[in-house]
Amino acid sequence: MKYFVMIVIALPLAACDPTLPSEVILASYNYPQDGEIATEGTVTAQQDSQTQTTSGTISNEQDFDAVAIAQTVESDAERIAANRAKYIVIDARELPQRTDNLPNVVEYAIRTNNPVGMQLYKRFGTSAKTFSFGGCGKFSSTDSAQQAFLVRGGPKIDALGIDPDGDGFACAWDPRPFRAAVLN
């Protein structure tokens, strides 16, 4: 069957006549005569065996002489003074306190010390709970899953069936980044 499909596809392609040029024409480059070339938007002039090109579209910021004409020490000082006037220093303040009574997953991560995957709690009927609740896919992040797990009696009770291995961490939530931040 696959050979039949290949033949059906190849026949129309074989019927096409490729149009390739029979001869190649090389374009010749006209070298500038007497050192002067003019193109749209570009002015070129020859002075003392050196060619200078100026254009409105090509940046000349790498040309020291061109920048020295456009920028001066005084203009740099004015620009620095204007930037200093716009600079705003924001004083550090205390972090806001949480107004909800939800568990803090960062505090939980720091308080625990067991490795991920090490069973601390027995789990029964996890698959039935996961099926009825919907599992980890109902949460937007692992942090929100861990928080919901703690709200509903976790880590001792897994009411939602999202900690099947019994390590106290729901939906592959990992406390190691929080623990590492405290050590640094």
For residue 126, the model assigns a pLDDT of 67
| pLDDT higher than threshold 90 for residue 147 | yes
Contact of 108 with 175, CB cutoff 8 Å: yes
Please spell the DSSP secondary structure of 106-172, one letter per residue: HHHHHH--PPTT---S---SHHHHHHHH-GGGGSSSHHHHHHHHHHTTTTT--TTS--TT-SS--TT
Q: Which residue has the higher pLDDT, 37 or 24?
A: 24
Token readout for 89 is 């220093």
For residue 68, the model assigns a pLDDT of 82
Whole-number Å distance between alpha carbons of 151 and 163: 13
pLDDT band (50, 70, 90) for residue 46 = very low
Q: CB atoms < 10 A from the CB of 125, how many? A: 11
For residue 62, the model assigns a pLDDT of 82
Q: Which residue has the higher pLDDT, 159 or 9?
A: 159
- Exposure b/e, 143-181, CB count within 10 A at least 16 = b: ebbbbbbbeeebbeebebbbbebbbbbbbebebeeeeee
pLDDT band (50, 70, 90) for residue 35 = very low
For residue 86, the model assigns a pLDDT of 94
pLDDT band (50, 70, 90) for residue 99 = confident
| pLDDT higher than threshold 50 for residue 17 | yes
Q: What is the mean pLDDT of the chain?
A: 78
